[in-house]
Amino acid sequence: MTAIRNIARLLKSKPTLEGAGVRLKRAFGHAEAPAVDPFLLLDDFHSDNPQDYLAGFPWHPHRGIETVTYVLKGLVEHGDSIGNQGVIQPGDVQWMTAGSGIIHQEMPKGPQGLAGFQVWVNLPAAHKMMAPRYRGITRNQIPSVRIEPGITIKVISGKVEGIRGPVADLVVEIQYLDIAMEPDTMLEHPVQRGWTAFAYVIKGNGAFEPEHERVVGVEHLVLFEDGDRVAIKSGNDGLRYLLIAGKPIGEPVAWYGPIVMNTQEELARAFQELRDGTFIKGR
């Protein structure tokens, strides 16, 4: 018999200043990381005020993680130390594996407003020092599945109704879905037992636990208990949310700033290499 996942924790995203002065909301971060393995961080950036985002995220390093950036509104120009450059447009996804080390920048452009999300996914010890790689996925490459009347799912990674998202060959298995539900609709969706799973509300509100009518609104994150599926009911205004799940790594985390390793010694070595100019490998 399969089990529906109940709510383990409910978190409200908090105002945070990052980069060169970007105002965003952090749904979870360092303090919550042990409970959300293999995920480390979820940032929600949305503003119609250019002063909140145009300072951007100038050149900075990463090692030991993957960053997943999903843009809903606006433009983000990027460049990195392995030669990638371009513009992330509305509906596009940037999936960057930092591995042994990458230096990049993410710079929002224009006065039209900005909205999107960035998730950090940890890498296991065996892949911390893998060669970095970059995947740019355009909105036209992301399939949209209408699974029943009133419910549409954009499949970024993972599989829904036999339709697989464009992001494959992942180090850590991840399901990343953007789900829109019309008012007063019900969705039961399978999630691999043993995986960490959470939902983050973008628009509207809904109930994320079948036994209780507790309504969860925008900028709230639902961390689910274990089970085989989630059961979600949209409210009177409809509901849009990210549903993200991944297989836990279960390894020690040594984390400071943009670098995440397994030990303090590895972390210290990474920052020493930054100072010495040997951080980027394979040159």
Q: What's the rounded mean pLDDT across residues 61-83?
A: 96
Residue 20 lies in a domain: yes
Residues 158 and 220 in one domain: yes
Percent of the chain with pLDDT over 70: 99
Q: What's the rounded mean pLDDT across residues 139-154?
A: 95
Residues 23 and 113 in one domain: yes
Tens of pLDDT, residues 79-92: 999 999 999 999 99
Residue 87 lies in a domain: yes
Residues 20 and 135 in one domain: yes
Residues 31 and 134 in one domain: yes
Residue 7 lies in a domain: no
Q: What is residue 183's predicted lDDT score, i.e. its pLDDT?
A: 97
At 25, list the tokens.
């909301």
CA angle, corner 147, sides to 141 and 149, nearest 5? 120
Which residues on neighbouring strands pair with residue 259, listed in sequence order? 63, 256
Residues 133 and 163 in one domain: no
pLDDT above 80: residue 283: no
Looking up residue 238, the CATH number of its domain turns out to be 2.60.120.10
Residue 153 lies in a domain: yes
Residues 120 and 194 in one domain: no
Q: What is residue 213's predicted lDDT score, i.e. its pLDDT?
A: 77
Residues 27 and 130 in one domain: yes
Residue 4 lies in a domain: no
pLDDT above 70: residue 57: yes
Q: What's the rounded mean pLDDT across residues 49-61?
A: 96
Percent of the chain with pLDDT over 90: 93
In total, how many domains does the chain have? 2
Residues 127 and 148 in one domain: no
Residue 228 lies in a domain: yes
Q: What's the rounded mean pLDDT across residues 118-132?
A: 97
Report which residue type is found at 222.
V
Q: What is residue 210's predicted lDDT score, i.e. its pLDDT?
A: 77
Q: What is residue 5's predicted lDDT score, i.e. its pLDDT?
A: 96
Residues 225 and 268 in one domain: no
Domain span holding position 209:
142-247
Residues 122 and 23 in one domain: yes
Residue 2 lies in a domain: no
pLDDT above 70: residue 162: yes
CB 278 within 8 A of CB 83: no
User: Is 274 strand, coil or helix?
Assistant: helix
Q: What's the rounded mean pLDDT across residues 184-208?
A: 97
131: left (phi over 0), alpha (psi -120 to 50) or beta: beta
Residues 195 and 239 in one domain: yes
Residues 29 and 99 in one domain: yes
Which sign, positive or negative, has the C-alpha torsion 63, 202, 164, 90? Answer: negative
Q: What is residue 1's predicted lDDT score, i.e. its pLDDT?
A: 63
pLDDT band at 10 (very low <50, low <70, confident <90, very high): very high
Tens of pLDDT, residues 216-271: 999 999 999 999 999 999 999 999 999 999 999 999 999 999 999 999 999 999 99
Mean pLDDT of the chain: 95
User: Is 168 strand, coil or helix?
Assistant: coil
Residue 8 lies in a domain: no
